[in-house]
Amino acid sequence: MQSELMALMMSGDSGISAFPEEDNILCWKGTITGSKDTVFEGTEYKLSLIFPNEYPFKAPKVKFDTTCFHPNVDMHGNICLDILQDKWSSAYDVRTILLSIQSLLGGNFES
């Protein structure tokens, strides 16, 4: 988890960030910013990321703490995204998760 934190901090991706909560490396708070030219532009969304002990072999539980009106986000902030469910791969990391959620909100990205 420490290496993921360093990789995320060094990535230089705009509009995404995440850090562990206080003493628990398995509980993170993340933020994504709505992408330009979308209805979400300029809005900062807070997320909770809870990593299981089996991570990276099991997907983290990710949900919006900020209200987000989107067809793939329910009223409790739960996100319907295949890579967080049946399409999870241990190749994914925190950066991939945040970029995927940002993309879900209508963003276009260059890698």
CATH number of the domain within which 9 lies: 3.10.110.10
pLDDT given for residue 110 in this prediction: 40
Query: How does pLDDT run across 83-108, given as a tens digit for each residue?
Result: 999 999 999 999 999 999 999 998 44
Domain assignment present for residue 54? The answer is yes
- Domain range holding 40? 1-106
Domain count of the fold of the chain: 1
Is 27 annotated as catalytic? no
Query: How does pLDDT run across 68-87, given as a tens digit for each residue?
Result: 999 999 999 999 999 999 99
pTM for this entry: 0.89
Domain assignment present for residue 80? The answer is yes
Cβ atoms of 54 and 63 within 8 Å: the answer is no
Cβ atoms of 66 and 46 within 8 Å: the answer is yes
Domain assignment present for residue 11? The answer is yes
Choosing from 6, 25, 39, 80, the catalytic residue is 80
Domain assignment present for residue 85? The answer is yes
Domain assignment present for residue 28? The answer is yes
pLDDT given for residue 107 in this prediction: 46
Counting residues of the chain whose pLDDT is more than 90, the rounded percentage is 71
Domain assignment present for residue 81? The answer is yes
Domain assignment present for residue 111? The answer is no
Cβ atoms of 31 and 17 within 8 Å: the answer is yes
